[in-house]
Structure 1
Amino acid sequence: MAPRRYKLNNAFYLGSDGNFEVPLSQDRRDMIKGAVMEYGAASVGIYQFRDNGESQKIISKDVFSDEKLSYYTGLQYGDNDINGSTVTFGTNHAVTIVGWDDNYPKENFAAGNPPQGDGAWIIRNSWGADWGGDGGYFYVSYEEGTLCDGVVYDTAAARSGERVYQYDPLGPVNWYSLYENGSTEPVQYFANLFTAAADDRISSVAFYVPEPGNGYEIKIYQNCGANSPVSGSLASTVSAVGLVPGYNTVALKTPVDVANGTRFSVVVKATTKEGGYPYPVPVEYRLENYSKAASANRGDGWVSGDGVNFQDIIDAYGDETASICLKAFGERQHNPTDTVLEPSGPVTVDAPEGVMASAEEVSAEDSTKVQQAVIAELKDENVKGIAADKNVALKGVFALTVSHGNTGGAASFTVPFSTPLSFAGEPYVIIPKKDGSGFVAFPAKYSAGSLSFGVSDLNEFFSTAEITVADVRESAAPAPSGGSSGGGCAAGLGAAALILLIPLTLVRRGRRS
């Protein structure tokens, strides 16, 4: 069975602007608790020693109680006075808050290094069950001063008909800037050029953010050339503020249709906040024992200082395996129509004796309502009989009334129309079930102005049904291995590590062009 993919719908930042205040205010505790209750978990940064031997060596204190499964350092995020010397403790690890115990006793923490009050978060570590604690779970005091940058991720099972365009299946390894450290340049651009694997509708993009307070503008270009991500026609623009540290998904206000085989681009303008972290570009590259399978191709990822003149990220970064961590999500194309279908004669019926049928036109208003309902069910992959990876263009709606008494079983109909129809793919009819439980699609044939189709059981669909005529065509070419589409670097439930936790020693400083 293929692994289930999850897509990140949204993310919510729980920090203030860096570390949590210590001790945590009741309001902040309640906010984190509410987020954990609603979404199941919250990802937070922490400074974590691996064992008491390490903590004794650095701060001359035990931080673990192996007996009580608890952890408390007594340190503050930032500068600390350790035996007369200033030592800075930031974040070196990510853990996940999965619960809490307001009454967890302060006496349960390491002897000689207790917090002042009771209460602890229940934490799931990411080092596996063999690391320690209770199968990898342990308690962290509410007063732990190195907790920072909490993020809650709202995820949902990814649709099977959704395509992921990406060059970073392993995720970010580093942050990059075009400029030398200390530059006052607040704006940089990063982009990816993709080749559409089929006729897709680009509905959202995703990338990584190093800290709160930055601003982003995302643009989608269609029909691009090979040498610049802004060489095509601008098709959609959306601004995004309030993005959280880590992985973010941004929905496009105007989705963009791309044709199979054409190039399109996602261009992100990143504006760093005043005094903020000056490396806004998330990059994947090959790093031994971490991302050694990373690879890249020239012409895929781009960076720029002005949004006009772009440089290949491989050249800018100086690494043949460097890729921009920026994704686009392609949904299937489901299109309504304004066409009013006009039945033009008697309906031919092939059914048990006594079954009769008649077809009639529906109003434009009713047609719109029915099509909206059908498209909503198509997007949710709930129309039985149409695969999730198909593009569907609706051709109109008509009403079919079937008089069949108590007779059930299969039946077929031929309905003539004065409205001419054309199909790029295969004709189908989408029929609501009589009990209101959903829609079922049946293949049809269109010839000489008439549409022929059959149903599996008259009792399941009639007496009167508003039937949608659909043009169903292929939309999903197989995803190329190692290419720009397919796969799923989409967030999983519980959320992974914060990207802020990438060691800053890995930052690659740029050069002025």
Structure 2
Amino acid sequence: MKKIIVGIFILFTAALLAIFNSDVKPGKIEKKSETSAAARTLLENKARFIQENGIDILIDGKSLMNFGYKLKIDDELKVYASERFMEDIMGCSINVYKSGKVIVDRAKTELEFSSDEVELLDGVRFIPISDVVDRLGYRVEYNFKKNQINFINIDDGRFLPDAYDMRDHDRLTPVRDQGDFGTCWAFASLGALESITLPEEENIYSVDHMSLNNGYSLDISDGGEHTMSIAYMASWRGPVYEKDDIYGDGVTNNSLKAVKHLEEAIIMNSRDDNKVKSAIYKYGGVETSIYMEMDYGSTTSEFYNEETHSYFYDGKASPNHDIVIVGWNDHYPKENFAKKPKNDGAYICKNSWGDDFGEDGYIYISYEDVRIAEQAIVYTRIADQDNYDNIYQSDNLGWVGQMGFGKETAYFANVYTAKSDEVLKAISFYATGDNTSFKVFVVTDFKDDSSLNSGRLEIGKGETRFAGYYTVDLSQNIELKKGQKYAVIVSVKTPGSEKPIAIECDAGNRTKGIDIKDGEGYMSLYGEKWHRAEDSGANICLKAFTDNK
């Protein structure tokens, strides 16, 4: 996903300009040229004001200010919507092709834009939609006095089709085969990750590398889960290309550098079919877990219909297999299942048992399956490996546990020393629950924990809708000198949580490689009295990213 602070906005000015640019008809009162010039100057001044100061964007009257969306408007008042806004807020599916062509889908509406019509600004793709916003199901009200724009949904938000299959839109890489190894989790994570850049960019990532170079004390047969995948990518260990570390050969190359950098992954911890469908439609494949009653290589189960490639489990067993949800069909017949559910409907899922299993490697799983989408992971923001020059971190294993003070609020900090003359550009952390609001601070001259109280400067804030891993671009650049000791601080409020701080900690045999001595982290309830995280056997999950000067 591109950037958490990215922007958009839609502004209707064409009608205003048309008033002053239209031909004068016989019998009509002619407007004086100075009036036209004054009006144009007013609009140009307004455009300049918005460019310099931004604008408050509302959806159905609710402000998006805390989510960091911004306006992109040129000097002629031509306005563009960022790809991220159209996905997140307007519910569009954006498909970018190698030619640069962009296809925007929303329900039964399909819009096509050429590469010449689309603008790229700081790595963010902006699409001109002033003339088509009504076709996407919105009406716009603009308040110049309050400097606000309000997008009003006029179709009740029903932008999802009854059926959608990513295979029909060239958004999937080929089905692969895990063999007898316990690597379904890595195939699911990387299969979902691969889908978010398609059809514009096709990459096949190495499962061998993810399963053997993730920092955990597990081998390729021990299994894993999504927090390991996120930690592996967030720490810049990977992903790497499959061609550079071939699957199943028993050999891995731990000197390979990540070819992409994960910047955001959302975690949906409660079942919500509409949110899962929306994530597939807008971003790509959704990683999830099911209970698979069959073993690898088998097609015999009371829950599986081999003829229709359908599966429905309604028992009590815990999840034991990871897959990728890649589509749905609300009208998939319930009669197709070996054990019939009450209603029609199924998810279309990509498995990792080769293309001889199921429908060329895909199966249909009933909406009523008790395990599917109980937890769903979506990789929503991935960047090229040159997005930042340096990473500072002490949590190579990522989110293993949580700490807090029995409240939904907390402060946490990490202290780092600049390796050279650098510029602090961004930070990342885990939101441990939905609707987490946060603020980011920096202390540029850290001496001891008292510096965390007196010298902090606010450099970012926002809100997340879901739990997950988030990168936050800072509101200003912070220059650092070689050897300079600095601290990054985040305050969070996570509704309903008593332990809102994500930590790396000892969790038994699988985390034997943890190093608690490599960090200097602090925690506080109110940001006043601070406690060393390492004294509690933990590292704070809080990274910093810099560019070299």
Give the TM-score normalised by structure 1.
0.48
Query: Over alpha carbons, which structure has the higher Rg?
Result: 1
User: 1 or 2, which has the higher helix percentage?
Assistant: 2
Which structure has more relative contact order (CA 8 Å, sep 6+)? It is 1
User: 1 or 2, which has the higher strand percentage?
Assistant: 1
